[in-house]
Amino acid sequence: MQNRMMITGAGSGLGREIALRWAREGWQLALSDVSEPGLHETLKQVREAGGDGFIQRCDVRDYSQLTAFAQACEEKLGGIDVIVNNAGVASGGFFSELSLEDWDWQIAINLMGVVKGCKAFLPLLEKSKGKIINIASMAALMQGPAMSNYNVAKAGVVALSESLLIELAQQEVGVHVVCPSFFQTNLLDSFRGPTPAMKAQVGKLLESSPISAADIADYIYQQVGAGEFMILPHEQGRMAWALKQKNPQLLYDEMMVMADKMRAKAKQTAG
């Protein structure tokens, strides 16, 4: 059929915009999130955009909820062609400030949520010879300061996607990984970190971005169609990645300067 898509974290932000982009092509969408009001709003907009589908509340930390969601896709849509593991949360803080609970929370949602999504839906994708789209982040490639737990979780998503690209080729299941930089989103709603100053700094970066979640969804649509594995929606991100591949030390030096600035700013705010 090739027109049935599952999206986690579809109640807002990039998840909603991905749903709307594919809805405009008339796709059937299985939408999940922990926020039910958000899901109802997304489904309403999906129908207005020319798509259809159903919603199901799902916490990606709970594998049984994901397998139940996969079962619902089989019952209601007859299977699935594309899965988008998009659900994620933001966090920040220097390594010395982050608690082990901060690490567990971040890894459980941003990394293991993707692992569990792939695992729960793989049998359906093998049947449909479908595609996996995992949403990572430029943080996976750049490892910016004061977000080590986020960097590690997202780097894990890239490594998982690379592993699956190779392993699932024989089953004709396609794999894509998306690494957006900062963009205008509601990611801060879920932000967790030791200092309010850090949240404010991340907020400024999100607001100042020239690119919206809708722009990113459209770029993903084009690049998946073109068969691109590593999808970098931001031009700045593509340039930074090229620089890191060529001269990693230059990037590390730049990040150290950034870390010093962040520390100084945090001290000012606290003072």
3-state secondary structure the chain: CCCEEEECCCCCHHHHHHHHHHHCCCCEEEEEECCHHHHHHHHHHHHHHCCEEEEEECCCCCHHHHHHHHHHHHHHHCCCCEEEECCCCCECECCCCCCHHHHHHHHHHHHHHHHHHHHHHHHHHHHHCCEEEEECCCHHHHCCCCEHHHHHHHHHHHHHHHHHHHHCCCCCCEEEEECCCCCECCHHHHCECCCHHHHHHHHHHHHCCCCEHHHHHHHHHHHHHCCCCEECCCHHHHHHHHHHHHCHHHHHHHHHHHHHHHHHHHHHHHC
Q: What average pLDDT is seen over the chain?
A: 90
What pLDDT shows up at residue 206?
Answer: 44
Catalytic residue set: 150
Across residues 82-103, what is the average pLDDT?
Answer: 94
What pLDDT does residue 207 have? Answer: 54
Q: What is the pLDDT of residue 239?
A: 87
pLDDT in the model for residue 268: 85
Q: Which amino acid is at 62?
A: D
pLDDT band at 243 (very low <50, low <70, confident <90, very high): confident
Q: What is the pLDDT of residue 81?
A: 98
Extents of the domains making up the chain: 4-236
Predicted TM-score of the model (pTM) = 0.91
> Which of 64-68, 112-116, 129-133, 181-185 shows the lowest mean pLDDT across its residues?
181-185
In this predicted model, what pLDDT tens digit does every residue of 133-176 receive, in sequence order?
999 999 999 888 899 999 999 999 999 999 999 999 999 999 99
Superfamily covering domain 4-236: NAD(P)-binding Rossmann-like Domain (3.40.50.720)
The CB density around residue 217, as the number of other CB atoms within 10 Å, is 22
